[in-house]
Amino acid sequence: MAKAVAGMEGVTSALNPAAVERIGMSEPEWLRERRAHAWDVYERTPMPTIRLEEWRYTNLKKKLDLNSLQLSDAEAMSDDASTWPERLRAAMDEDREASGHIVIIDGHVVHADVDKQLATQGVILESLQEAITNHEELVREHLATDAVPAEEGKFAALNAALWSDGIFLYVPKGVQLELPVRVTRWLSEAGTAYFSRVLIVAEAQSQVSYVDEVLSDDFESQTYTSTAVELIAREGARVQYVAVQRLGRGAFYQSMQRTLAQRDSKLDTLNVALGASVTRVDLNARLLGPGANSDMLGLYFGDDDQHFDFNTSQDHVAEHTSSDLLYKGALDGASRAAFRGIIRVLPGAQGTDAYQTNRNLLLSPESRADSLPNLEIEADDVKCSHGATVGQLDDEAKFYLMSRGLSLIQAERLVVLGFLGEVLAKLPLGGVVDKVTRVIEQKLAQHG
């Protein structure tokens, strides 16, 4: 009896088979089946506990109360920017230049535009719900199949069962987007669970960068957002994915990402986590064809009681692939960060170059960092290394700056910015660097 109950963990008055049925009501049969299957996996999979290596540092019993969450009942806002929240518009105004925009408010895609010339070349940027109608075969082939299927785990299954909308980006062979695609999201309903997905397919020799920013005010009660991100780069494609998380307190941000890099492709990611009460990012990079490369960057800045948990893996499946991971964070107040990363070199993946570095700066006595960089190597002709450090501000650097006339506080800010700036310098995407630097400066101003 106890076992049957355990298997049903996470089934609530809002998250249940009826909700799955309702969301999929007008969808094609294959998708409704996919949702039902995902729900099945969700029910069967026990809730992860800290006894699992992957969840060692985030105790969901304390951090997430699924029972208190409702699904969104917000109506879709109009595609009229003047009706949108002020902060959302401000975030968009900071970097207007783009190949296309998507705006998502409370789970609904309210706006989508794409450069006309790119559209004629076959670039698709639209809501996932529209793509099901307009590009059914493409979506059917890739959605929750190769990259983030329900079988990935409890939360991947929950997302695959209950996602309401998301983004579909398709770049045809040889098409190169000079400007990034910009997605801006806004969440407003406290106590709500949001589920969305991102699916990006970059065909051979294409090029695209994608920036996804999510914002909100503080929430009075826990608000949960789950995103499944599936990135596919075909032969020789170049893809950059950037996620900037600037949610208010009270938010539980969860992102499950997988990148599939085929021969000679370059598939880079940057995860910036500045807001929310809890951040959990699962990122799995798979290097599937010779010559594939992934740079994986991460940056986080915590204060108060913010909690960050990054769980990354670099899977070298084919020979002559490379990956380089750099996650850096500064922690103030009583904030806490955990990094768990693994490099896996599979048998036969000769000629792998894989690196992994996690560095933490503890700015206050109450902050805490845990780091677990792992290696599993099953081929011999490889170059792999990893490093992790936890430490405080460099006294010498501070002293030098102060000898140049800076105050202690100014010197500290500069050292932190320099420490985190290394990550941004590796992916100098227009708009992103300035914006993230500004937010960090605001946070540092409170450090005083």
CB atoms near residue 53 (< 10 Å): 12
Of 171-179, 254-262, 308-316, 371-379, the window that binds other proteins (rule: CB under 8 A) is: 371-379
Nearer of residues 6 and 90 to other proteins, judged by Cβ = 6
Rounded-to-integer distance, Cα 159 and Cα 147, Å: 13
Give the bridge partners for 234, in sequence order: none
Nearer of residues 93 and 395 to other proteins, judged by Cβ = 395
Kindly state whether residue 375 participates in binding other proteins, applying the rule CB under 8 A: yes
Among 363, 416, 424, 427, interactor with other proteins by CB under 8 A: 363
Nearer of residues 348 and 418 to other proteins, judged by Cβ = 348
Quick check: helix, strand or coil at residue 200?
Answer: strand
Of 166-174, 221-229, 361-369, 428-436, the window that binds other proteins (rule: CB under 8 A) is: 361-369
CB atoms near residue 109 (< 10 Å): 23
Kindly state whether residue 346 participates in binding other proteins, applying the rule CB under 8 A: no
Of 90-98, 155-163, 237-245, 345-353, the window that binds other proteins (rule: CB under 8 A) is: 345-353
Identify the residue whose tokens are 């769980």: 311
Rounded-to-integer distance, Cα 10 and Cα 8, Å: 6
Nearer of residues 42 and 339 to other proteins, judged by Cβ = 339
CB atoms near residue 216 (< 10 Å): 27
Of 110-118, 233-241, 242-250, 355-363, the window that binds other proteins (rule: CB under 8 A) is: 355-363
Q: Are 436 and 328 in contact (CB under 8 A)?
A: no
Nearer of residues 100 and 329 to other proteins, judged by Cβ = 329
Positive or negative: CA dihedral 69, 71, 77, 79: positive
What is each CA distance from 308 to 57, 86, 197, 254, 420, in whole angstroms?
Answer: 9, 27, 21, 10, 16
Nearer of residues 246 and 368 to other proteins, judged by Cβ = 368
Give the bridge partners for 242, in sequence order: 211, 270
What is each CA distance from 425 to 244, 255, 419, in whole angstroms?
Answer: 16, 23, 11
Q: Residues in contact with other proteins, total (CB under 8 A)? A: 36
Kindly state whether residue 387 participates in binding other proteins, applying the rule CB under 8 A: yes
Of 5-13, 105-113, 217-225, 383-391, the window that binds other proteins (rule: CB under 8 A) is: 383-391
Give residues 391-410 in contact with other proteins (rule: CB under 8 A): 391-392
Nearer of residues 85 and 333 to other proteins, judged by Cβ = 333
Among 36, 138, 190, 372, interactor with other proteins by CB under 8 A: 372
Among 4, 116, 347, 448, interactor with other proteins by CB under 8 A: 347
In terms of C-beta distances under 8 Å and separation of at least 24 residues, what long-range contacts does 16-22 make, across chains too? 19/71, 19/162, 20/161, 20/162
Rounded-to-integer distance, Cα 303 and Cα 382, Å: 39
Least distance from C-beta 392 to other proteins, angstroms? 5
Among 70, 72, 374, 437, interactor with other proteins by CB under 8 A: 374
Positive or negative: CA dihedral 429, 432, 438, 440: negative
Give residues 29-88 in contact with other proteins (rule: CB under 8 A): 53
* Biggest distance spanned by C-alpha atoms of the chain: 70
Nearer of residues 322 and 371 to other proteins, judged by Cβ = 371
Kindly state whether residue 370 participates in binding other proteins, applying the rule CB under 8 A: yes
Residues near other proteins, by CB under 8 A: 53, 347-348, 350, 360, 362-392
